[in-house]
Structure 1
Amino acid sequence: MDTNCDASLDATKSFISTLIFFISFLGTYVITWVIQYMISKNDIKQINAAIKQLEERGD
């Protein structure tokens, strides 16, 4: 009976460990995506400002 209980406990620990791994991965992915999005958004603003300046010189 103890063997069955130990196997069940091991399965629960494995599931929890796997769940923690995926949550950790997802958290890292989301943080990285947000940082890249903010940097890209800033870059796009700078590019649009440069294009606007070039268009104003051409007029």
Structure 2
Amino acid sequence: MASLAWLLIPLFAAIGAAIWGSWASRNRTAGDVAELAGYARFRDAMEKTRSGSEPV
């Protein structure tokens, strides 16, 4: 029975590694659209503040 326990340890480690690997390689581009829109608003706001000032 002890040998079975020692064989289950690498099995659980392999399953854990497979779960972690699939989680780490997931598609994370869903948040990029909101971030890019926020960056575009930031650029527009910075251009508005620069247009009212004197040229450097």
- Displacement, 1:50? 3.2
With the length of structure 1 as denominator, give the TM-score of the two structures.
Answer: 0.54
Q: CA offsets, 1:9-39, max 9 Å, x none?
A: xxxxx33211111011000000000111111
- The 5-angstrom pairing of residues 9-48 of structure 1 reads 14-39=1-26, 42-43=27-28, 45-48=29-32
Q: Which runs of 5+ in 1 are unaligned?
A: 1-13
With the length of structure 2 as denominator, give the TM-score of the two structures.
Answer: 0.56
- The alignment's C-alpha RMSD in Å is 1.7
**SS of equivalent residue, structure 2 residue 31:** helix
Q: Work out the percentage of aligned pairs sharing the same amino acid.
A: 12
Greater helix share, structure number: 1
Read off the aligned partner of 1:22 and give its amino acid letter.
Answer: I
Aligned residues: 42
